[in-house]
Homo-oligomer: A and B are copies of this chain.
Amino acid sequence: MKPIKVGLLGLGTVGTGVVRIVEGHQADLLSQTGSPIEIASILVQDKSKNRNISVSPDKLTENPWDIVENPEIDVVVEVMGGIELSKELMLACLEKGKHIVTANKDLMALHGPEILAKAAEKGCDVFYEASVAGGIPIIRTLIEGFSSDRITKIMGIVNGTTNYILTKMSQEGAAYADVLKEAQQLGYAESDPTSDVEGFDAARKMTILGTLGFHANVALGDVEVKGISNVTKEDITYGKRLGYEVKLLGIAERQDDHISISVQPTMVKKSHPLASVNGVFNAVYVYGEAVGETMFYGPGAGEMPTATSVVADLVAVVRNMNLGINGRRGFKPYKEKKLKTDEQIASKNFILLHVADKAGVLAQITQVFAQYDVSLESVLQHPNASNPNAEIIIITHDASKASINKVLKQFESLDVVHEIKSVYRVEG
């Protein structure tokens, strides 16, 4: 049988894993697909570099167009990252009828619709399982596993770096800056950690999950994003005392036809399955009208887990080639996107205030909540007697974001409220 020839764009961490799996699992891949799979050409930055994997030097090229223009190559696996050049290469590959497997969340979050439209036009497959939550097959789960259901909520711990930092802060009572530095030394955080810690990486992944879950073209700009750089060890301590863990959650919600997508540090009740997802692990919690609660847990990054997803997509492409159905099983959003307003977005909230330590303060504060119809689940005063201010922690019942914003604005004008220390969404 004629081998399927694969061009690999990038031989970094994930690319190396892809070579290991494709070469190490030849017999299994042949049994599963009916075709031998051969990595025929590999784009690298520097052909002369020493690598911890042996590849035949005549397969290496420093010019991506050698792969794009090579008529023998059936499938291109893109694990080089970046946006503009990747997009140009992907569109050129599709133009030439090559199928694509990519792990590039940035590319798919920003240019997914354009790339998928070109793929549909050319009858090509574009699969991107590895772009979200590394080794967890969440994309095919949303497309195939829940095809019959109507999903109302997706909550994801989809960034391993921030989950590592928050886990360490929680388990060791450590401060954000210290744990970040340690994470950088261990290679769990980049030297410029902005994309992870400010939630941008998670936002790109939620763009993809929101699109799949709600069948509407979610754009990156639709995601409201807040990172973890302002999470304090006090917040985590108070949260724990009340039965919560702080997690950076991507939250995509739907009510009737309206959706909202956000990324934010969230107080997650300890009994919720997401609360015990620790370290660099990822998990995606999916709530469907019919199925109810489900959760998918696994490694969110790393050479071999991510490569597992990439090669599973490659297997799917090859199976489709042998069935002659490429480009015909793609995901096509069919719903109009309608975003929720701040009046429609509702959640419980955790609010920590520093207030004047005198009589009548609590009455004034609770009066503000009442004025905007926000009812309260619990109020705790003086949880920390060592602080010169009185401290009040309020957990609200479900309240609209608009109401909470009005409450907070009013607090700013109240003399007795010295500082709004922190505000978290509450889940679970």
Residues in A lying within 8 Å of B, measured CB to CB:
17, 21, 25, 28-29, 31-32, 129, 135-137, 140-141, 144-150, 215, 273, 276, 281, 288-299, 302, 304-305, 307-312, 314-316, 319, 323, 325, 328-329, 334
Residues of B within 8 A of A28 (CB): 150, 215
Q: Which of the residues B147, B304, B315 comes within 8 Å of A147, measured between beta carbons?
A: B315
From known contacts A141-B137, A319-B329, infer whether A148 and B21 are also in contact, taking CB-CB under 8 Å.
yes
Which 9 pairs across A and B sit closest by C-beta, in order of nearness? A137-B145, A148-B311, A294-B298, A135-B291, A290-B304, A295-B297, A31-B334, A291-B308, A147-B315
Number of identical monomers bound together in the oligomeric complex: 2
On chain B, the residues within 8 Å of A140 by CB distance are: 140-141, 144-145
Q: A145: which of B31, B141, B328 is its contact (CB, 8 Å)?
A: B141
Given A31-B334, A145-B137, A319-B329, the answer on whether A150 and B25 have CB atoms closer than 8 Å is: yes
Which of A21, A294, A325 is most buried by chain B, counting CB atoms within 10 A of its CB?
A294
Closest to A324 in B: B325
Given contacts A292-B298, A297-B297, contact A144 B146 (CB under 8 A): no
Are B295 and A298 in contact (CB-based, < 8 A)? yes
How far apart sit A148 and B328, CA to CA, in the bound complex (Å)?
22
| B-chain residues with CB within 8 Å of residue A32 when the two chains form the complex | 147, 334
Choose among B148, B307, B334 the residue that contacts A25 (Cβ–Cβ < 8 A): B148
**Docked-complex contact B29 and A148, CB < 8 angstroms:** yes
Taking the nearest CB of chain B, how far is it from the CB of A90, in angstroms? 21
What residues of chain B lie closer than 8 Å to A215, measured between beta carbons? 28, 31
